Every structure is written in C-alpha cells, then in structure tokens.
Amino acid sequence: MADNATDRTNIEHSETAQRYDRLRKSIPFIRKPNVLLLTCGISGTFPNEVPLILQMVKEFDAFNEGNDPWNEHDFGAFDFRGEMIFWKIDDHKGHEGYELVLTVMLASEY
C-alpha cells in the first residue's frame, strides 16, 4: 500500500511540473505576474540568436532523474554553439509582484 504522504508529494511535484511546463510553453508570450529574464551573458554572447535559444528552452524535454530528481521541471541545460545554456524557474509566490520567474543564462553565470 502506498504511503499517503508520498502520494501527496508526488501529486504536488506533478502539478508543479505541469505549471512550469505551461510557463515555458508560453514563450515568448510570458506576461506578468510571471516574467522571463535573459542574462547579459545570453544577450551579449548571442544577440542575434536569442529567439532560437528561447525556442530550445520552450521545447526542452530531456528531464531525467539526474537533472530533475524532484520531477518539477524547474531546470534545464543544453549545449548551444559550444556554450552550456542553463534555464531555471523560481516560484516567487507573489513577492515583488511576480509569481514565476524563468531565467535563461550561460552556465558560467550560475
């Protein structure tokens, strides 16, 4: 028989993953109270390729136990033209007027 606390945790993580996936799938139309942030490293290193990088974030689906142990879909990494790109989602829970913040950065900026 499954542990009720474990079942609740799994459901919460699944709901979180769905919420975060919806945010990423809404690129480039993310609106307040959510926000999309690009670091200076991304915009400075790849100024003409930001749309392609955002498309790769939007389509990212390489989640596994190694990079997503809690199954929340809140972080991803991929190679882009020899640079590792990270993206992460943070839940600000309404702090400073924002809910979800999706940040796209060079791995070296983490």
Sorted by where each begins, the domain ranges of the chain are 4-109
The per-residue pLDDT for 1 is: 46
Assess whether pLDDT exceeds 50 at residue 99.
yes
Given CA atoms 107, 83, 85, 41 in this order, what sign does their dihedral have?
positive
Across residues 99-109, what is the average pLDDT? Answer: 98
The per-residue pLDDT for 6 is: 56
pLDDT in tens, 38-94: 999 999 999 999 999 999 999 999 999 999 999 999 999 999 999 999 999 999 988
Assess whether pLDDT exceeds 90 at residue 12.
no
Q: Quick one: tokens of 69?
A: 């142990």
| Beta strand pairing call for 75-80 and 100-106 | unpaired
With beta carbons less than 8 A apart as the criterion, state whether 106 and 42 touch. yes
- The pTM assigned to this predicted structure is 0.87
For 22-36, 73-87, 93-107, which range has the lowest pLDDT when averaged over its residues? 93-107
Question: CA-to-CA distance for 27 and 51, rounded, in angstroms?
Answer: 10
With beta carbons less than 8 A apart as the criterion, state whether 87 and 103 touch. yes
What's the distance, Cα to Cα, between the start and end of the chain in Å?
41
